[in-house]
Amino acid sequence: MPCYTISLPSLDCYEGAIAQFVQLLETLSGEQAQHATHGEIEALVQQGGMKLLCEMVQSHLEQRAREEPRYASVIGADGYPRTHHRAGCTRLLETRFGEVTVTRRGYGARGLQSVFPLDAELNLPPGRYSHGLCEVLAGEVVNNSFDAALAALEQAGGGTAGQAPSRGGGRASEPGLRRLLRPTLCPPRSRMKRANAS
């Protein structure tokens, strides 16, 4: 799949991140912060910083969605073409910084599962949890229980990987944990035909 160039002047996609940064600066330079301890300042920066990082990821995804090329046809991994185009398809992605929404173009055909070229370009996992979030969680689980790993992730101010209930109505089972943490292979990239510009 060919890569496409992200334009430099698309800073309007980053307005949310810029606003979050300005808000953090205003808080840090405000009178209340001037009387805070270094520990309180660290906590403030960590919390505001995670929000800023999440907003930066969201802004980048919005820019990628805006500049995603439209193709006349996309060939799925199954070898069949998808010629029906839908813009504005969304999915949630839980990152190590928090939840973001990925907006992208979908391509489908009658009786076939839709494909999303931007998902492949971004190397998105099939599930909701980003590779980065799974890495952080796996690192914590190696040394702690799953519950302790989730608590550490929440305390750090990042994304969440809540437990799914098990069949008995209790907490997530060991196989569910393995499903979340095991490496997943992305499907083969689709082949695209660029739409005519006429």
Domain boundaries, the chain: 9-67
pTM above 0.85, yes or no: no
DSSP states along 28-77:
HHSHHHHTS-HHHHHHHHHHHHHHHHHHHHHHHHHHHHHHPPPEEEEE-T
| Residue 97 structure tokens | 């910084």
Cα-Cα-Cα-Cα dihedral sign, residues 13, 19, 22, 24: negative
Q: What is the pLDDT of residue 8?
A: 59
Q: Phi, psi (5° rounding) for residue 156?
A: -70, -15
Tens digit of each residue's pLDDT (9 = 90 or more) over 10-54: 788 999 999 999 999 999 999 999 999 999 999 999 999 999 999
Q: What is the pLDDT of residue 164?
A: 39
Confidence band, pLDDT 50/70/90 cuts, at residue 192: low
Tens digit of each residue's pLDDT (9 = 90 or more) over 113-151: 999 999 999 999 999 999 998 888 888 888 877 787 777
Distant-in-sequence contacts of 21-28, Cβ < 8 A, 24+ apart: 21/52, 23/48, 24/48, 24/49, 24/51, 24/52
Tens digit of each residue's pLDDT (9 = 90 or more) over 71-91: 999 999 999 999 999 999 999
Question: How far lies 105's CA from each of 79, 90, 101, 169, 198, in Å?
Answer: 19, 9, 13, 37, 20
Q: What is the pLDDT of residue 143?
A: 83
Q: What is the pLDDT of residue 166?
A: 32
Contact 159, 94 (CB under 8 A): yes
Identify the CA nearest to 135 among candidates 121, 149, 122, 123.
Answer: 149
Residue 112 pairs with which residues in a beta bridge? 109
Question: How far lies 63's CA from each of 31, 46, 153, 175, in Å?
Answer: 36, 25, 28, 37
